[in-house]
Structure formats: structure tokens, C-alpha cells
Amino acid sequence: MDHVETLRPKQVVISDEKYFRACVTKRVDFGPDLWMMRVRTGGEFSFTPGQYATLAVEHEGKLIPRPYSIVSAPYEEEVEFFFELVPQGALTPLLHKLQVGDEVLMRRVPKGRFSLERNTGRTNHLLICTVTGVAPFVSYVRTLHRDWQEGRFEGGHQLYLLNGASRPWEFGYKEELTRFDIELPWFKYVPTVSRPWDHADWPGEIGRADDILRKYADHWELEPGNTIAYLCGHPDMIENSKAILKRRGFTDKGTIKDELYWVPAKQVPAQGI
């Protein structure tokens, strides 16, 4: 008798030791391609503000994992993320379909070293981001806010956030961050829009985050001797900001930290997950 092999779709074995089957508990859409979601992991997940989680969805016999910075603070019961849809991407179109009650896989162990450096002697922290790159900075501020309220943070560090986007609706966390700016003596927030022409009522800064970097570094008196810069999001913003900061003397190791969300197509190596 001939040996006949039946072709079946490959089954992915998902290790419950490695992944939570997290449940989506909240979703807010800021625009057609930007949204936030909160998930309940159902287990212990401890992280440092600034770290990322690996989210994954099983699709056509494959597991598709990608890293996402955590927006929420460690004291929150759920874990929050801020997403941008990459229409030709492998994972974001699948994440974009998820609704409250759906399951998403999430690695049990967080990763990353993009945390706030509070033991270097430099007490100013210049945070620069594009769109979803605000995620780790929201986590820093939410965490310090709670620590401030409960007496664990005395306000000895100052955080200055430049938040760039093309259009005003892309900010996602502007209201929360504006409230923190008003309430907290140690936090300043400047959103800036690079394509204001469809939004004549935009009252804020105009230009990319790296365009207004020099002006605000001067205004806030941020020097390499007293400041660490943190760059998060779009690779071009990171490259431009680094060049500007280096010309201002940010050349010592540790004075610039970055979290690149993707690399331009021609240099793509494997993602750090």
C-alpha cells in the first residue's frame, strides 16, 4: 500500500509557562490607525517603567510576536499599550481586530532597559518621542505621580517631555499629560504638531519634536552635565535628535538613551524580542 501523507495546517504549541493568555478589558480608538488597549494578564507580571512586553497572536499556523512598550505603571492592575496600525505589517492588523473580551498572548517576562536613570547625579530628564513612543514616558510619569502622592518621591528629578505627532488627534495621552503638567511641579509637557494646516485651531507648538528640541533645551537650561535625554519612537526623530544633542555636548556614555521602534527597511535585522 502506498504511503499517503496528509497535509495539515501546522499547530503552534503555545507554552503557558512562557505566555499569558491575556484578556482585553478596554479599547479606545484615537483615530483610524491609533488605539490603546488594556489587558488583564491573569497572573503576576512585574516590570520597571520603560520596559516592554512581547505581544503575540497565532495566525495561519504561526505565532507572530512583537515588542510593545508598556504605558501603565506597575501599581495598576491591568497592563496598557498604545498601538499604531502598520497596514502592511504582520501583527498590527491582527491586534487591530481585537475587541474587549478577546485573548492576546503576552510573554510573562518583560524586557528592556529604557528606564528612568535616577542614580547618575543628573536630575533633569529630557524625554522626546513621536506618537506611540510616548508609552514608556506615560509609565514613568504615572509611577512617579503615585510615588509623589505617597511620599516615596520628593520631586528631586525634573521630567521634560516633548511629544511630536503629525496631527493633533494622534497624541492619545495629551489630556492626561497636560493635567500632570499643571499639577506636578517636576513635570513639563509640550505637544508639537508637524502638519498643522488642517487644524487651524491647534494652539500649541508647530514642528517636529526634533525641530523644537534646541529651543526647549535652552529654555529649560538642559545641559549635558545635568541632563539625560531619552528618545523613543520614529527612527528619523531619534537620528536627528541624537545629532542635535551631540552637537550640544551630549557625548558621554549614558547621556542619551534610545528606544527605536523600527528600523528603516534597508537595514532591517531581526527584532529584539
Ligand X SMILES: Cc1cc2nc3c(=O)[nH]c(=O)nc-3n(C[C@H](O)[C@H](O)[C@H](O)COP(=O)(O)OP(=O)(O)OC[C@H]3O[C@@H](n4cnc5c(N)ncnc54)[C@H](O)[C@@H]3O)c2cc1C
Number of residues that bind ligand X (CB under 6 A): 26
Angle between helices 135-149 and 174-183 (to 10 degrees): 40
Smallest CA-to-CA distance from 158 within 111, 182, 126 is with: 126
In angstroms, what is the minimal distance from the CB of 91 to ligand X? 3
52 binds ligand X (CB under 6 A): yes
23 binds ligand X (CB under 6 A): no
Q: Which residue is nearest to ligand X (CB)?
A: 89
Q: Confirm if 113 and 47 have CB atoms less than 8 A apart.
A: no
Q: Confirm if 71 and 81 have CB atoms less than 8 A apart.
A: yes
State the sign of the Cα–Cα–Cα–Cα dihedral 270, 36, 57, 18: positive
In angstroms, what is the minimal distance from the CB of 110 to ligand X? 11
Q: Confirm if 181 and 138 have CB atoms less than 8 A apart.
A: no
Residue in this structure with the C-alpha cell 525634573, named with its chain if needed: 158
Cβ closer to ligand X: 4 or 265? 265
What residues between 202 and 261 interact with ligand X by CB under 6 A? 259, 261
Which secondary-structure segment (H or E) carries 218?
helix 209-219
The residues, any chain, with a CB within 8 Å of residue 132's CB and separated by 6 or more, are: 34, 69, 82, 83, 84, 172, 233, 261
Binding mask 115-154 for ligand X (x = CB under 6 A): -----------------x--x-------------------
Beta strand 79-84 with 158-165: parallel, antiparallel or unpaired? unpaired
As a whole number of angstroms, the distance between CA 254 and CA 263 comes to: 22
Binding mask 61-100 for ligand X (x = CB under 6 A): -----xxxx-----------xxxx-x-xxxxx--------
In angstroms, what is the minimal distance from the CB of 107 to ligand X? 13
In angstroms, what is the minimal distance from the CB of 31 to ligand X? 13
In angstroms, what is the minimal distance from the CB of 93 to ligand X? 6
Task: Select the residue interacting with ligand X from 13, 200, 265, 270 (CB under 6 A).
Answer: 265
SS3 content of the chain, % helix, strand, coil (to 5): 25, 30, 45
191 binds ligand X (CB under 6 A): no
In angstroms, what is the minimal distance from the CB of 233 to ligand X? 8
| Residue ranges that bind ligand X, judged by CB under 6 A | 52, 66-69, 81-84, 86, 88-92, 112, 132, 135, 259, 261-263, 265, 268, 271-272
